[in-house]
Structure 1
Amino acid sequence: MEKLLSIYLNDHLAGSTSGIELARRLARQQAESRLGEPLGAVAKEIAEDRDDLLEMMHALDITPRRAKVYAGWAAEKAGRLKLNGRVMNRSPLSFVLELETLMLGVEGKQALWRTLRTLAEHEPRLDDERLARLEERAQRQHDALEELRSRSAGRILTTH
């Protein structure tokens, strides 16, 4: 079980690395708009959630795998290279698609916390109350991102 748990948590660590990079980039891009502040808050929380994951991995004696962390970082960078109907600049849809990608990552993180809550029933090194708070926070992050996505998609698709 420990080997599978190590793989599972390291995969989520890689995903969180990618998510932090994406969230921070979106917050920077939108810093001058009304979306900058809520995106900055979500990016900060995603980074804190990653720290929580690392603390739990440490408590469980699971070593973070640097190769997976680097792969998560590289995946976010590679994700910027997608075809978007434009040759030299970003499509207006890029922001909406990136928000949707970030939402999927938050949903995955929420599933992680639920899975760890199941394990906490038999693993005293995991704190069920902490995991419940993290699960609720992931839901709030998802809701905030959905609000931003919905408003942005409506505005972009009706004006272009």
Structure 2
Amino acid sequence: MSERGFTVQGARLGIYLNDHLAGATFGVGIARRIAHQHRRSGGGADLERIAEDIAQDRQTLLAIMGSLGVPARRYKIYGGWAAERLARLKSNGVLYRRSGLSALIELETLRLGVEGKTLIWRTLLVIATDRHDLDESLLRSLLSRARDQIETLEALRLEAVAATFSPESG
């Protein structure tokens, strides 16, 4: 046992959950930014819904951490926030404005983040078999929602691929 009654496994779970919390913080920022930038496009409503879902999933993760007695580490939250801000600086081949490549890379980044989110829900489902403080039906619902988000993001990504690499895109 360590301080606060944590076992080694409990400490590892705390680190794991906080790492995913940092990723979720990054994901909320990028999802909201993408939704805002594409609010008038054909996929704008889908992106807005996904951004809202991702924000809700982050809150759910915080609630799960609280129910497990895992404190949220502020430095991890700030790290996720800072990483999202730094990601805005990446080169897109155009100096002063966004390019189609920006949208494609952002959609891919967001999809990868949602893929990562499916992993935490799957991991918690495995752990839930031995714990009564994890709601398996909630975790299954979160996993299903993440899979739906992946399908939507993939459809939007394929549209961005076609627009970015078509001969007319110049």
* TM-score computed with the length of structure 1 as normaliser: 0.97
Indicate which of 123, 134, 145 corresponds to 1:115. 123
* TM-score computed with the length of structure 2 as normaliser: 0.92
**Aligned partner letter, 1:24:** R
- Structure 1 window deviating more from structure 2 (150-159 vs 48-57): it is 150-159
Indicate which of 102, 110, 133 corresponds to 1:94. 102
* Structure 1: unaligned runs, 5 residues or longer: none
Structure 2 residue 150 is the aligned partner of structure 1 residue 150? no
Q: Report how many residues are paired.
A: 160
**Aligned partner letter, 2:65:** M
Aligned partner of residue 123 in structure 1, secondary structure = coil
Contact 2:100 / 2:163 at 8 angstroms: preserved in 1?
no
State the match for 1:28 in structure 2: 36
Q: 2: CA distance between counterparts of 1:24 and 1:37? A: 12
Structure 2 residue 47 is the aligned partner of structure 1 residue 42? no
In the TM superposition, residue 30 of structure 1 has moved relative to its aligned partner by 0.8
Hey, which bits of structure 1, 4+ residues long, moved more than 4 A? none
Percent of aligned pairs sharing the same letter: 46
In the TM superposition, residue 91 of structure 1 has moved relative to its aligned partner by 2.3
In the TM superposition, residue 105 of structure 1 has moved relative to its aligned partner by 0.4
Q: 2: CA distance between counterparts of 1:94 and 1:134? A: 28
Contact 2:24 / 2:54 at 8 angstroms: preserved in 1?
yes
Which has the larger Rg?
2
State the match for 1:17 in structure 2: 25
**Aligned partner letter, 1:28:** H
